[in-house]
Amino acid sequence: MFIAKDFKFKIPTTVKLFLLKISFLFLSWELLYIGFLSPLRIPDAQITNITAAGTASLLSFFYPSDHFESKAEPNEIAFSQKETVYINHFKLIGIADACNALELQVLYVGILVCLQKFSLKTVAFILIGVPIISICNIIRCSIIGWLNITRHLDLSVFANHYLFKIIMYGLIFFTWVLFTNEKGTYARE
């Protein structure tokens, strides 16, 4: 017979180590980002600019007779800027720093670094995964721009706030599973 008072829950050492590493990494990143990088818009300005330029380029591929460009503009948030993509000099989509996928990239890299010992495999997954996240974000912004061009504004809002988040987090989770699901990669106690 099972008695609750005899039950002892023990957290495995690998889980404790992972939680310790991820907590340290998270606090370090937040202090660095909020304290120093965010006020200077590093690397936000660069990533947001790349995202907007990529969005304008991708849309111009599908709409070759229209003129697409991206410009830096002040954001509604104090001391912040955003990149705006225009079609024929009309505003199509604004891409703020919060929309540049930096948080997703940091989350992706942070979990990879904390999952197991740092190795060439970790470097390979980072070097391949971070650009894939950026490319997916450019595609996301382009689809939102296309939905705005075709006047499907309700669908644009739904896709931006729900659909693309599910897709991006699913993609990242799938990559973590691939990273840990090969022979000999599980950390053992």
The reported pLDDT for the residue numbered 9 is: 79
pLDDT tens digits for 48-101?
Answer: 999 999 999 999 999 999 999 999 887 766 556 789 999 999 999 999 999 999
Residues of the chain with pLDDT below 70 are: 1-7, 76-80, 182-189
Nearest CA to 97 out of 56, 144, 137, 155 is that of: 137
The reported pLDDT for the residue numbered 1 is: 54
Distance (Å, rounded) from C-alpha 103 to C-alpha 31? Answer: 14
Tokens representing 77 are 């948030």
The residue to which tokens 């706030």 are assigned: 161
The reported pLDDT for the residue numbered 72 is: 87
The reported pLDDT for the residue numbered 5 is: 66
Please give the model's pTM, rounded to 2 decimal places. 0.87
Angle at the Cα of 128 from the Cα atoms of 14 and 116, rounded to 5 degrees: 10
Characterise 2 by phi-psi region: left (phi > 0), alpha (psi -120 to 50), beta (else).
beta
Tokens representing 22 are 């991820």
Please name every residue paired with 95 in a beta bridge, in sequence order, or none if there are none: 83
First to last CA, the chain: 29
The string of DSSP letters for 25-89 reads HHHHHHHHIIIIIHHHTTTHHHHHHHHHHHHHHHHHHH-TTS-EEEEEEE-SSTT-EEEEEEETT
Measured in whole angstroms, the distance separating CA 64 from the mean position of its chain's CA atoms is: 29
The reported pLDDT for the residue numbered 185 is: 47
Distance (Å, rounded) from C-alpha 111 to C-alpha 32? Answer: 18
The string of DSSP letters for 117-136 reads ---HHHHHHHHHHHHHHHHH
Residue ranges covered by each domain of the chain: 11-180
The reported pLDDT for the residue numbered 138 is: 97
